[in-house]
Structure formats: C-alpha cells, structure tokens
Structure 1
Amino acid sequence: MITTTKPPPPSLIPSLIIITIVITSPCFFPPTATSAAVNEAEILLTFKKSLSNPSALQSWNATSSPPCTRDSSKWAGLRCTGGSVEKLILDNMGLAGIIDVDSLTKLTKLRTFSAMGNNFDGPFPPFSRLPLKNLYLTGNKFSGEIPADGFRGMASLKDLYLGHNQFAGPLPGSLVGLNKLSELGLEGNQFTGGIPDLQQPLTVFNVSVNNLAGPIPRNLADRFNQSSFSGNKELCGKPLPAACKAGKRKTKTKTILIIAAIIAVVTILGAILACTFIQARGSRRGEQAQFDDTRNLKKFGAAGRMGPKMQAHKNHQPEPMKEAAAAGGGGRRGESGKLRFVRSDREETFDLHELLRSSAEVLGSGTFGSSYKAVLSEGPAMVVKRFRHMNNVGKEEFYEHMKRLGDLSHPNLLPLVAFYYRKEEKLLVSDFVDNGSLASHLHGKRRPGEPGLSWPTRLKIIKGVAKGLGFLYKELPDLPLPHGHLKSSNVLVDHAFQPVLTDYALSPVVNRDQAQGVMVAYKSPEFIQTGRTTGKTDVWSLGILILELLTGKFPANYLRQGRGAAANADLAAWVNSVVREEWTGEVFDKDMKGTKNGEGEMLKLLKIGMCCCEWNVERRWDLREALSKIEELKEREEGCENDEEYCSSDGDLYSSRAMTDEGFSFSVTA
C-alpha cells in the first residue's frame, strides 16, 4: 500500500513560502561580529601589502586577534565603533608606497583616514571613493595636480588637511561643493591660480606658502588673518598689505556724477543721524559698537600698542560678537558673549566688554596662541590668550575641562581666571606676571652690565617647576600629558624669580594637527620614533628644560617636527658629546654667576637632566624619581673641597668620571 502525505491547505502555502525565503535568506542570520572582524582583517592585510615599508605595522598579521574585538590592541592605528573600523590613524610611522583606496572601500564604516608625517608620494589618491568625514595627509611628499573633481561626491567631508606636500596646479573646484567642510589646511604646497570663493562656515583655513595669485575672496578675507594667506607673492587684498591693482575702466561722466551725488546724500544723512542720536545714546553705545568684537584683540595685536583704547574695526565685526551685543551687551548679562569665571576664590570684577575696552599690548604671537596684556580701568592687569585651534572637544566637554583647570591651585601654577567660548575661537584669561618668562631671561638681550641668572636663582626656578609639575600629575592623573607643553617660554617668573607654569593641560582640547605641530610633548623621541607619547614624555620635557637652564643654549628640539628628524640634532646630544669626550666647564652657561662651592650641585642637576631626557624611554627616570633628586639639591655642596668627583679643580675643568657612574649612563639612540 502506498502512503501519501497530505499537502498543506492552500491557505498556508504562501506563508510557508515566505518563511522558507526568510529562513534561507542571509539577512535572517546576519554575520557575526567575529566573521566581520575576520573580513576586515583580510582587508587591512591587503591594504598593508600595498605599502613598500610597513615595518611599523608588523603587528598586523593573520595570527593576531581580529580587529575591533576585545583583544585587538595589536592592530596599531585602528579605532573601532560598533565592531567595525571607523578610523585609520597611521601618523608618523615612516610609511611609503601606495595608499590602496580599492581595499579601503571595503571598510564600509571607515570615516577618518590619517597618514600625516609619512613618506607617501606620487599623485593624489582617489579618496573621493570613500565616504570620509576627515582626511589628514599633512607632511608627506604627494605631488602633481589634484583633479578638479578630486573631491566630488565627498558630501560628508568636514576636515581636510593636505599641508606640507608638493601639490601643484590650481585648487580643485570641487572644494566649493563640500558643504560640510569646516577645516581646510593646504599650506606649504605649490598651488597656483586663484582662491575659490568658498562659502562654507570654515573655522580653519590656511593656504599660506604657495604660489597663489589674485585677489582674496572677501568672504575669506573678513574671517581669517594674514597668516592664513602669507607666503603667496601674487596674492593681494585684505588682510594682506599688498593692495590689488584696479584694471582700466571706461566710466562715463554721468555715472561718476550719480555716484558722487549718492555719496553726498549718504554723508549728509549720516551726519543728521549722528547729531540726532549722539545725546540719547551717549558714550555707552559708542563704546559697545567699538569693542563688541573679539577680533579687536587680533587687530590691535598686529599693530602693537595703540594707546589707551583699542581702535574700532566695525567693518570687520564678525557675526558671533554681533550676537553677543544683541544678547544684552555681553559680559555677565548676555549668554552668547559671556566671560565665564572658573575660580571660586575670585569675584567677577569685569566682563568681556570691559576687557576689550582696556589698555592693552601684545606680549607674544605664535602658532599656539597670541597673548595680550590687558590693563583694566579698575583692578589688576590680566593676560588674554587667543586660540583658534581648540575644537577637539564639544562645548560641554570644553566647559568641564576649563572648570577643572580653574579648580587647580598651587604657588607654581599660573591660575586660569576665566574663559570665553565660541566654536571659532576661545579666549583664556589669567593673571599677569610682570617679570617675563624664563626664556626671556636666558636668551633675551640684556642691558650692558646686567648680570645673567645666578646658580641659586636657577636652582630656585627648577625646584619650583618640579613642584608645579608634580602637583599637575597628582591632580590630573587621568591625562596622558598633564602638562604637554613644558618649555622655558611657558615658565613665568615674578620679581623674586619664583616660577609659575602656564599653558598646561591643554592637549585634550587643542586640535590634534595643531598640537602635534606645536606642543613640546610631540617633539619627544618616543613620538618621533613611534608616533605616540608615554607617561614619561613630560619628564623628557623637564630634562630638556634643565639642560637649557644650565647651558644657556636654546634647544633645537623645539624646532624639529615629525618622525624621521635627526636624533642627534638636539641639546641633549650636544651635552652628551661633551661629557663623553672631555668634561669641561664650557657645558655650563658662562653668564651663570654665584657658583662658588656650588659646582658639585650643578653637576648633580646636569646628571638629573640627562637621565630625564634619556632617549630610551624604559631607561628614562620616571617623574617621582626626578622630583625626589631635584628636591635634594642645595645651593652649595658641603665639604666640596675634598670631593674631586663633583668639584671644580681650577674653576674650568670638571671630572668626567661622575657622569659615567652606574645609574647615570645616557644614550641618544634607540
């Protein structure tokens, strides 16, 4: 007997078909995170093969744990989100070869690609095939012309940095279509032609040191200063000093008369309005219109000291400060232009407009920030530092970090008093220290007969620096770089030569590209070698500062940028060479006085400095050991006359044996 299976009812057939399709569909059982990670591993290994010297990526191999898993730390340069590679950070790794964009297109979640400070060359890769938000290629050897449509389709691109390459030809027209673009760095190339009229709300713009020509678009001229355009001989118009030459125009007499009549009418109406409102509004309105603009600081900074009041620049008033004025006159009343005080022990004795109305002068202008001394009508002098590269964190995180810095209180730290926040720029306000910086006393011109810093004074300064640095490490243990920018120009001294540290703990809020190009921590051997800083990086900065203090020589380390710089072209290497060859008194600053019976202690401090800036990070002292040794130092060595290891035999010659004792060996190569 044949047995048959009864077919399902006709009404169930469509449902079974749907269930079968769904179950057998690959979407029903999506790939696991592990399988996705394995696929990304294969993609990354394919990308690695396109590089000619991927030694820095040795940890990328098939035997490593898959990327974007719990144990994926060996995949250098990866940043993951949701189990997929979102950022590829390959800065300062000495990489060269071809950037295989084809393989990168398979990393579907990739949004940031950074390969700054490498040796990539050749034409601009076809990055328009990637849905990137951030592209950083500064400091390579790319060359040739970027196609006009090189950025077409990159609608999500926000940050684009191509500086310090060898690109040539006109700026690609497709830049105009990048509606979300906010930061653009094209400096240090060989671009030619004019600057496109970029209408995006850019916060960073730099085309300096190229071969660009023609007038600067007004939209850009009104928002960026001279440094954004300098180094282009044929560029003209504001903010550059070179005016654009007007072409020949055929103007009819009738047109000239009409224009003249209009000007006359406008002038008369202006005079009438001025007379009508001058008494009603009074000087307060005039002052508000005159000083509503934070750009006044920049304008007057370019001209130096301009008398008792800063000059008005109404034609260049940016929108943010107009909003501040509209919000109630700025200061504590208006939220948009509010100066926020962060110290609980200081009263709010002035507001933003009072600060901008004050007598002021330029203290310094550099790539990290311009400083101004502002003398308030009532109260002490303040220092205002203006930053345009502090967009690394959002508003809430920035506020929180500034509040944290305001809570710090130590005799050897310059306290942050207040700050002003806008997305485009920040102002940090602190007390004025009226005896200048350590750098000015070591390297500045002195009047005839004026003595240099004595040994007791230098010892006092370095002990104060050590105490301030130790306090930062105690109070900010979670920061990778509690200082990050320790150098002689950031050590201020009062008239008693008590030091205070400034520009500390700013690395979390400074834009990465700016930080790596400017901050001292990124000149360290470990960053040059591996592209990373360590818990001992500030110690290296302290060591260089000690050697600078004792020798009076300016460290070439601060001038060096990026991976691949000569390891021996620095102050530490020079000191080491003198010590190894023949120990002579020429290593110490000839202007240092008051060293009688203090040579032994000077020698001890020199050894401390050398152990702090040891090239090999593992052999370098940690901060606790360095601070302990510094604290033990005295102005004079007791019983020095009988100690040939540390003491001068004739005032010029010192023992080299002391520098090679166990525990004080020093190397300048990895």
Structure 2
Amino acid sequence: MAPLDAHLPRPPLHHPSLFQPCVVLLLLLSYAPAPTLVVAQDGSQPKADMPTGLNDGMNLVRFKQALGSPAVLSSWMQGVNPCGDTRAPWTGVICAGGIVTGLRLGGMGLSGTINETAVEPLANIQGLRTISLANNKFSGDIPPFGVLVALKSVFLSNNHFSGAIDGDYFSDMAHLKKVWLSENAFTGKIPSSLLKLSLLMELHLEDNQFSGAIPDMDTQTLTSFNVSNNKLEGEVPAGLQRFDESAFTGNVGLCGPKTGKTSCEGAVASSPASASDGKEVESGRAVMVSVVLAMLLLALIAGLVIVKKRREDSFDTLGVENGSGDSVSVSLPRVGGSSKRSSSSTHRQHDSSRKSSISSKRSAGGGDAHGELVMVNQDKGAFALSDLMKAAAEVLGNGGLGSAYKAVMANGVAVVVKRMRDLNRMGRDGFEAEIRRLGRLRHPNILTPLAYHYRKEEKLLIFEYVEKGSLLYALHGDRGVHHAALDWPTRLRIIKGVAKGMVYLHTELASSDVPHGNLKSGNILLGPEYEPLLVDYGYLPLVNPSQASVSMFAYKSPEAVQHRQVSGKSDVYCLGVVILELLTGKFPSQYLNNGKGGTDVVEWAASAIADRREIDLIDPEIVTGTKQSVASMEQLLRIGATCVDPRPESRPDAREAARRIEEVSVEGGGDGDGTRGTDSAPSARDAVLTSRLSAREHSTEEFSMS
C-alpha cells in the first residue's frame, strides 16, 4: 500500500542549479556502469545507491548512536531493514509502503540533547513525515528540525527543552500540520515563522515561558490552539478569538475577549516610564507574596494541629456498603499521624474476602505533602481529602488498572474514587503534569478528572459519579429500565457521541501513541439522557509497557498482539468492537484475557458480511418494530467491520470513522445499498427478516461473561 502522504512532494536532494541542461554529461552518465550495493557495517554515511529500506535503517542507527544508543532502541540494528516484511518494525518506527514514515518515541525515558549531528541522518530519510519525542526527558535547545522540510507533525511536549526559538525556525517547514511544544521551558517570543504555515491545524504552546504578543495567526485551517500558562501580553488577535478561554488562561498580561479582561486600556507598553515603575510594582508584589505565604503557613500549622487532634483516636475509613447491605472498612491514605486502628472502628470489620482497601503503607520518609488532594477541575466545586474520609462509600468494581468506589460526601456530592495501582511509569512531577493535562479537557462526551492524590505506592483519581453506570452494565448486566431504553436511536446516538469524544482525544492528546488506549463499553458511562462519557483515557504515558499490554484494551488489537505495535489506529479497532457490541447486543470475547466466554464479534461480523447475512448479527431487540432502519444498522455494521480490519493501514483514522458514523441515519441507509420505503406491502427481504427474527426470538442461546 502506498504511504498515506505519498502525494506530498519529496524534499529536493540537490540544488536546482545542478539540473541545468548538459547533454554531454547525460550521455556520459547513460553509459556509466550500474552501481553496486555497498552496505557499511561501521555506522558510516549511508550510500546513495543503497535500497531505501536499508538506507533508512542506517540513518536511524546513526540517530540512535547520537542519542547515546539507549537500550530501549535495541531493536534498531545495523544492516537490517526497519520495515522488512519478514520481521516486526523497529520499536517506535512507523512504516508505510515499505519505507519509514514516522518516529514515535514518546514516553521511552529518553534524555540528553538533540543537536545537528543527531538530526542530520533524519534528513536523509525521505519518507519521514512525523516525529514524536513527547513525554521524555530531553533538554537543551529545540532540536534543529528545520531541515526536515517534509515533516507534517512534530510532538515535543512534556520534556525539558528550554531557551528561545529562532523566529525563522519554521520558515522552510511549509507542510507542517501539527506542532506540539507544550510543557517545556521555552522562552522568548512565539516564532513569527509560524505565520507561514498555511496548513497548520494544531498548535500547542501551553505551559512554557513564552513572552511578548501572540502573532496574528488568522489561519482558517487551525482547529486546536493553546498558549495557556505562559507570560504573554497584549490583545488576543481577532483571528484566534474563536478558541475557548482555556486556550489563553494563565497569561496575566493578555487582554481582550476570552481573557476575562474585556478592555485593553492600559495594556503593557514597553516604555522607559513603565520599566522604571515596574521595579516598584515588583517590590510591592514581593511584600504581598511574603505576607500571603506567612498567613498560609500559620493556617497550615493550625490545620495540622486540628486534624491531628480529631484523628488521634480514630482510623481514617470510608464506610462502604456491599451488595448485601453489609458495611466494610475502606481506608484512605492519611495526611498525617499514625495508622493505628481504634476500637471504635473494629466493629466495622468483616471477613477478609469482603474488605476493600484503598490505601497502602506510607513510603519511607513520606511527608504530609503526599497526603494532599489536588484539585485539577473545580466544575463540581472544591473538596478535600478530609471530606472523603467522612464519606459513606460503596464498592463499584475492579478493573485492569485498579478499583473504583462511590463516595457520597456530607454535602450530598457523589464522586468516584479510583485507586490506581499501576500508574508508576513516571515520577511525581510527570504524573502530576499528565493529570493536570487531562484535567484541562472539556468535551460533552469526556468525563474529566476532578482531583488526584499522589503517593509512590498508589494513586487516587477522583471523578464525578454518573448515576446510570457503564454501557457494559446497561447492555449485559441490567435487564431493567436502562436496558429497555437502549433502542436503535439511542444506540446510534451513543456511538456517535463515542466517536466525537474519540476525535477530541485524538486532537488534544495527539502526542500520545494511543490517545485513549482503553476504549471499551465498561469505560463508556451513560449520562442522564444516555449521552456517552468516555473515561480511563490518556493513561498510556503513565502505565509501564508490561502492565499496559495486560490492562489496556488497545493492546488487544491485532498489531499489538502480533507485533507489539500500537497507534491511533488501535483506538479505532477498539471503537469497532464497541460498534459491533452495540449492534449485536453480545458481550465481546475480545474483552476477556482467557478468551473463554462471550462472542467473537469481530469474526462473526466478517463471516456474516462475506456471506451477505448481516441481518443475522443485529440484536432482535432493536429491530423489532423498526425494520425500516435495518439498512442503517447494516451500514453501521460495515463501518464497525472496517474499524476492526486486522491491517491498521486499512482502517480509517478516528476522524474519518466519526465522519462515516455521523452519516448513518436512524432510518434508511446512506451507502448506496438502498433505503427502505414505507409502503405497507413487505418486500421479500422483509419476509426473510421477519422469519429470521422470529427464529432468534424463540432461541435459548445465551452468552457467558466468564
């Protein structure tokens, strides 16, 4: 299959002046002997006459050596084709059509600086279109990627890059569509050469130290933009005022719409007078900060004394009710003090099989700072760890990444506390940066975290409680009112919302190899009007690879199982499984680690479509009484089958999948297979449909979830 970006012009290999007409030279070259293949074994400069695959491989090895030959790239070996058909692609290398098209080296613990020596071999890889170095520990100046003129995407988020970026840095990178430089320490002005990127779709510069004014980027192609938490000043350009306020917050010098300062009168102007006055202002601010810090310190000391006294004779517990109405002891991490149980809590204990703990021993040397509950989203108000301590709680269940508990606080607010056991890939700073990033997400189909608690041994994530629970439970565990409400229009509305949420995640978390990573019906909650809310997304940078392969559903995709490779297309595979699950009403065997139980919806769909008996798959509960919608159901079924294609390159990306799903209507098909009329005489196909449904309704077939 040709690369997805094959239409993009190749970067010039020679200066245009060398192509002046020269008949004699051409004649001489036409009689020159055919070049022979020479493969260097010492990491030297690749030969121009070497096959593309081996040439790419040698250049990647040179890049690896410039990085210090990290062990994580041990699969990059000299003299081997990184995109060879006989072996899996190299770690972090994306191939298409037998050539290298991308590097996804995010979250691999890489460090050091990236200079011209490291970038030079990358310039020799003609098919290279995307580079992701996000979530590592690289430092120094921004890599000199300006020579990679054919790049479409650059992801450098969450590293330690610093310094100013030259204003002309992007001048020759006319094909760039995605630029992610967030969560670094870049300084100086935003490069003016960004204005030259006419194809730019995503620009993320948040959480740096950029200063000065925002360039007037009136680029209609720009769909995702964020410069929050910098030192920018002046008026927000008119061309960027279509973006949400969250894109500009944390810049005290900005004014105008979307900043909270509607008027720009008195906006910062660089004059001698203002510069001299600035010293007095800074002096006054320093005094004010000192006073505030002193007051906070006194309040903290007083608070600790009160907390210690209140808890001196009691153990911090959540009262938990299990299914039988009995209570069990659910302990939370303590902010301070000892961990002794008091006699007052002993009567709450039951048999060990009914206990559910959401705490563990404090790490050696752990301080009170490790007991804080940090709010990242105050849409539902603020609360503290002490509020959770007093809450009555209920065990909701266990998942691959941890356990979940419902806690109802004294003010009546209900939240879900998730005890996450395996988010240990990053240290405290990296973990907090990732959760803050998730806390900034805002979308109708995304459930954003409210708060977190960090300890080395375990972490707590706090979310809003959603009453109806998961799509998994509504489909397979609840035969009551919630299940009855899952008619065809509702199921179609759910999958459309899921697809929209996925597109949003693939835009906002594009620097991640797999933006969601764990999409399945158990991680889709249903709001009051059965609107879907995605949860358990964006954890891939936080989960150790060995645990991710066990706990995250994206690692059940064919490419992950066969080649240990995951990408955004792995999320699309998960979306396809959810589509087939909604249409068939069957519990997918793909969700089970042991493969025992459930229904292989992927194989079932492929077989039915091949035999043109799609109707056999459709859940009779959504067909009865709505036979005019069968064409639409079959249209969605075929979309789902495309999403679970075993070849990632044959699947649509998240945006294209969402577009196709959006085209599906409640009644009638939109793919050329014909629509159903409303005449009273049933067609021959309707007769077959009625016969098959009748047979299925009287069947005693069951499925197993274990």
Q: Provide TM-score, normalisation by structure 1.
A: 0.52
1:651 aligned residue = 689
2:652 aligned residue = 621
AA aligned to 2:68 is: G
2:247 aligned residue = none
Partner SS, residue 336 of structure 1: helix
AA aligned to 1:86 is: A
Partner SS, residue 71 of structure 2: strand
Structure 2 counterparts to residues 394-405 of structure 1, below 5 A: 394-405=427-438
1:417-467 alpha-carbon deviations (Å, 9 max, x no partner): 000011110000000000011001111142599736210110111111111
How much does 1:597 deviate? Answer: 1.7
The 1:321/1:394 distance shift into structure 2, 3 A limit, reads closer
2:556 aligned residue = 523
Partner SS, residue 496 of structure 1: coil
Partner SS, residue 624 of structure 1: helix
Partner SS, residue 420 of structure 1: strand
Does structure 2 conserve the Cα–Cα contact (< 8 Å) formed by 1:640 and 1:646?
Answer: no
**Separation in structure 1 between the aligned mates of residue 42 and residue 365 of structure 2, nearest angstrom:** 51
Where does the alignment leave 5 or more consecutive residues of structure 1 unmatched?
1-36, 42-58, 73-79, 96-110, 113-280, 328-334, 655-670
Does structure 1 conserve the Cα–Cα contact (< 8 Å) formed by 2:627 and 2:686?
Answer: no
Does structure 2 conserve the Cα–Cα contact (< 8 Å) formed by 1:412 and 1:467?
Answer: yes
One of 47, 58, 64 as aligned partner of 1:65: 58
Partner SS, residue 364 of structure 1: strand
Structure 2 counterparts to residues 35-46 of structure 1, below 5 A: none
Partner SS, residue 343 of structure 1: coil
AA aligned to 2:616 is: E
1:3-24 alpha-carbon deviations (Å, 9 max, x no partner): xxxxxxxxxxxxxxxxxxxxxx
1:320 aligned residue = 362
AA aligned to 2:602 is: A
Partner SS, residue 568 of structure 2: coil
How much does 1:569 deviate? Answer: 8.6
Q: Is 1:427–2:456 an aligned residue pair?
A: no
**Separation in structure 2 between the aligned mates of residue 305 and residue 39 of structure 1, nearest angstrom:** 70
1:576 aligned residue = 606
Aligned residues: 395
1:68-108 alpha-carbon deviations (Å, 9 max, x no partner): 412x6xxxxxxx675335336679x999xxxxxxxxxxxxx
AA aligned to 1:605 is: L
**Separation in structure 2 between the aligned mates of residue 375 and residue 449 of structure 1, nearest angstrom:** 23
1:602-644 alpha-carbon deviations (Å, 9 max, x no partner): 1111111111111122221222221111112221228612899
1:454-501 alpha-carbon deviations (Å, 9 max, x no partner): 101101111111111111112122111111100000000023211100
**Separation in structure 1 between the aligned mates of residue 437 and residue 55 of structure 2, nearest angstrom:** 44
Partner SS, residue 598 of structure 1: helix
One of 368, 376, 394 as aligned partner of 1:361: 394
The 1:636/1:513 distance shift into structure 2, 3 A limit, reads same
1:200-243 alpha-carbon deviations (Å, 9 max, x no partner): xxxxxxxxxxxxxxxxxxxxxxxxxxxxxxxxxxxxxxxxxxxx
**Separation in structure 2 between the aligned mates of residue 87 and residue 283 of structure 1, nearest angstrom:** 46
1:49-80 alpha-carbon deviations (Å, 9 max, x no partner): xxxxxxxxxx998995277412x6xxxxxxx6
Does structure 2 conserve the Cα–Cα contact (< 8 Å) formed by 1:546 and 1:609?
Answer: yes
Does structure 2 conserve the Cα–Cα contact (< 8 Å) formed by 1:360 and 1:375?
Answer: yes
Runs of 4+ residues over 4 Å off in structure 1:
37-41, 59-64, 88-91, 281-284, 286-289, 299-313, 315-319, 321-324, 447-450, 642-647
Does structure 1 conserve the Cα–Cα contact (< 8 Å) formed by 2:320 and 2:327?
Answer: no
AA aligned to 2:391 is: S
Does structure 2 conserve the Cα–Cα contact (< 8 Å) formed by 1:469 and 1:483?
Answer: yes
**Higher deviation after alignment, 309-318 or 458-467:** 309-318
Q: Is 1:338–2:372 an aligned residue pair?
A: yes
Q: Is 1:83–2:73 an aligned residue pair?
A: no
1:554 aligned residue = 587
Structure 2 counterparts to residues 487-566 of structure 1, below 5 A: 487-560=520-593
The 1:502/1:62 distance shift into structure 2, 3 A limit, reads closer
**Separation in structure 1 between the aligned mates of residue 642 and residue 53 of structure 2, nearest angstrom:** 34
Does structure 2 conserve the Cα–Cα contact (< 8 Å) formed by 1:390 and 1:426?
Answer: yes
How much does 1:353 deviate? Answer: 2.2
The 1:291/1:302 distance shift into structure 2, 3 A limit, reads farther
AA aligned to 2:689 is: G
The 1:67/1:393 distance shift into structure 2, 3 A limit, reads same
2:677 aligned residue = 641
Does structure 1 conserve the Cα–Cα contact (< 8 Å) formed by 2:560 and 2:566?
Answer: yes
**Separation in structure 2 between the aligned mates of residue 540 and residue 645 of structure 1, nearest angstrom:** 35
**Separation in structure 1 between the aligned mates of residue 587 and residue 86 of structure 2, nearest angstrom:** 28
How much does 1:574 deviate? Answer: 1.2
How much does 1:285 deviate? Answer: 3.8
2:166 aligned residue = none
**Separation in structure 1 between the aligned mates of residue 483 and residue 662 of structure 2, nearest angstrom:** 29
How much does 1:411 deviate? Answer: 1.1
Q: Is 1:590–2:632 an aligned residue pair?
A: no
**Separation in structure 1 between the aligned mates of residue 614 and residue 41 of structure 2, nearest angstrom:** 61
1:416 aligned residue = 449
1:17 aligned residue = none
Does structure 1 conserve the Cα–Cα contact (< 8 Å) formed by 2:577 and 2:601?
Answer: yes
- Identical residues among aligned pairs (%): 37
**Separation in structure 1 between the aligned mates of residue 416 and residue 577 of structure 2, nearest angstrom:** 27
One of 477, 484, 487 as aligned partner of 1:444: 477
2:275 aligned residue = none
Where does the alignment leave 5 or more consecutive residues of structure 2 unmatched?
1-39, 45-51, 77-84, 88-107, 110-304, 333-338, 342-356, 670-674, 693-706
Does structure 1 conserve the Cα–Cα contact (< 8 Å) formed by 2:421 and 2:457?
Answer: yes
**Separation in structure 1 between the aligned mates of residue 73 and residue 683 of structure 2, nearest angstrom:** 53
Does structure 2 conserve the Cα–Cα contact (< 8 Å) formed by 1:38 and 1:66?
Answer: no
AA aligned to 1:491 is: I
Partner SS, residue 462 of structure 2: strand
Q: Is 1:481–2:523 an aligned residue pair?
A: no
Does structure 1 conserve the Cα–Cα contact (< 8 Å) formed by 2:400 and 2:552?
Answer: no
Does structure 1 conserve the Cα–Cα contact (< 8 Å) formed by 2:557 and 2:573?
Answer: yes
The 1:81/1:366 distance shift into structure 2, 3 A limit, reads farther
RMSD across aligned C-alpha pairs, in angstroms? Answer: 4.3
How much does 1:303 deviate? Answer: 9.4
Does structure 2 conserve the Cα–Cα contact (< 8 Å) formed by 1:392 and 1:511?
Answer: yes
1:455 aligned residue = 488
AA aligned to 2:666 is: E
One of 617, 641, 656 as aligned partner of 1:610: 641
AA aligned to 1:339 is: L
Q: Provide TM-score, normalisation by structure 2.
A: 0.49
**Separation in structure 1 between the aligned mates of residue 54 and residue 584 of structure 2, nearest angstrom:** 47
The structure with the largest alpha-carbon Rg is 1
The 1:66/1:626 distance shift into structure 2, 3 A limit, reads closer
Does structure 1 conserve the Cα–Cα contact (< 8 Å) formed by 2:475 and 2:483?
Answer: no
How much does 1:588 deviate? Answer: 1.0
Does structure 2 conserve the Cα–Cα contact (< 8 Å) formed by 1:544 and 1:613?
Answer: yes
**Separation in structure 2 between the aligned mates of residue 282 and residue 468 of structure 1, nearest angstrom:** 44
Does structure 2 conserve the Cα–Cα contact (< 8 Å) formed by 1:38 and 1:67?
Answer: no
